[in-house]
Amino acid sequence: MRILSLLLLTIFIGVSCSSQKKTDMKSTQIEYSAVSRGLYKKIVVQNQMVSVTNGRNNEAVESKINDAKWKQIVAEFSKVNLETYSTLKGPTEKRFYDGAAIANLKIIQNQKIYETQGFDNGYPPKEIEKLVNLLLDFTKE
């Protein structure tokens, strides 16, 4: 009887934890921005929806993210360590001499904001490169 109780408790905890992770992703907002004198780009992803703004005076265009793309975003997001997130450094420094726009990736989760240091648009830190490229794909469509 104890074994059965322990087994049921383990299954219940496992299901509870996995459903909480999905809930966390639904309440998580990922925001990529790139800004320079001649460029303004903002991509906001939340709850399988994306909002893309190309240009300072342009309206945001919203659309639904297909299931395959959403799974990729969730998989790459799960690899991000939010505790060391603010210390990530980009591989280049072109933004210091107007060689690239200043980019930033912000994550809002459970009412807490995690933000990278500025990095060059198109040259994200290696740890978030795949996630950033998935987000930038929305501006190409």
Give the tens place of pLDDT for each residue, 46-80: 999 999 999 999 999 999 999 999 999 999 999 99
* Local structure of residue 86 (DSSP, 8 states): G
Q: What is the mean pLDDT of residues 90-115?
A: 91
Burial of 63 (0-12, 13-18, 19+ CB in 10 A): exposed
pLDDT value at position 141?
59
% pLDDT > 70, the chain: 82
pTM beyond 0.85: the answer is no
Mean pLDDT of the chain: 85
- Rounded distance, CA 36 to CA 31, Å? 17
